[in-house]
Amino acid sequence: MEYRRIFDTIPEQFDRFRPRYSPELFKFLIESAAIGPGVQVLELGPGTGQATEPILDTGCDYCAIELGENFCGAMKRKFGTRPNFSIVHGDFITHDFGEKRFDVICSAATIQWIPEKIAFSKTFELLRPGGTLAMMLTVGDYKTPNEELYHSIQKVYSEYYRPEKLYKDMHGPFDYAHAADYGFAAPEKHEFHGRRVLTADEYVAFSGTHCDHIVIPEPYKTRFFEGLRQAVLDAGNRIVFDDTYVLYLAVKP
């Protein structure tokens, strides 16, 4: 299976355990990109809608394009009754948008799965002049707040983390700053912060939404997740993530 399609095999788990973004990030994005009624917004690969609802709530004309069939179904069940919601089940790389153009294009941890040249050249083409490309991602730090537990988890990784292919090899290099090489103004980077506290079972379920963890073959996969669970149980059944929510904004002149 193509690696960027793996997430669609676990829609319920993905929906429940993938982190959301901070309200402060959405407030900043909505104000900066002037998202509201009449504004045409395209979201790339929304998954099960981790970043969708705050955008929809503005009353904008929202459209998504989603590669995963199960994810697409989940999005329709969640938002299908909203009059300003629409979704296309398709591949952004190959989909023909015709003459359709957008004021804002959003990506929440999706655009890096698209080859850089296609990602930036096609979003640039699809945006109206003055339009905004908004790219979000989450960086989770569990080392700083759980030093001893972190090292216990690394031992589990050393022993059992044997995926078919490493994450860094799954989609090639991608640099958000390179948007400027395709006609965008230099992207502005903004950071927001939050914290998650997970139990052992929640941490295992969250870890099981990572593409390179899903493809660990047996018997290593079972041993890997059992090792993660036991490490957190031994630490008091609690692991803390200090999250940084990163937002890149690139404007088409």
Residue 101 clears pLDDT 90, i.e. is over it: yes
Q: What is the distance between the alpha carbons of residues 13 and 203, in angstroms, rounded to a whole number?
A: 12
Q: What whole-number percentage of the chain has pLDDT above 90?
A: 92
- DSSP H or E run through 155: helix 147-160
CATH of segment(s) 3-251? 3.40.50.150
Q: Which two tokens stand for residue 174?
A: 């991608």
Residue 166 clears pLDDT 90, i.e. is over it: no
pLDDT band at residue 4, thresholds of 50, 70 and 90?
Answer: confident
For the chain, give every domain's residue range: 3-251
Q: What is the distance between the alpha carbons of residues 66 and 89, in angstroms, rounded to a whole number?
A: 5
Q: What is the distance between the alpha carbons of residues 7 and 113, in angstroms, rounded to a whole number?
A: 12
Residue 97 DSSP SS3: coil
Average the pLDDT over 68-86 and give the result: 98
Q: What is the distance between the alpha carbons of residues 171 and 239, in angstroms, rounded to a whole number?
A: 29
pLDDT band at residue 163, thresholds of 50, 70 and 90?
Answer: confident
- 65 Cβ contact partners less than 8 Å away, ≥ 6 residues apart: 42, 43, 44, 45, 87, 88, 90, 91, 92, 95
pLDDT band at residue 5, thresholds of 50, 70 and 90?
Answer: confident
Residue 173 clears pLDDT 90, i.e. is over it: no
Q: What is the pLDDT of residues 135-160, one digit of tens each?
A: 999 999 999 999 999 999 999 999 99
Residue 65 clears pLDDT 70, i.e. is over it: yes
Query: What is the pTM (predicted TM-score) of this model?
Result: 0.94
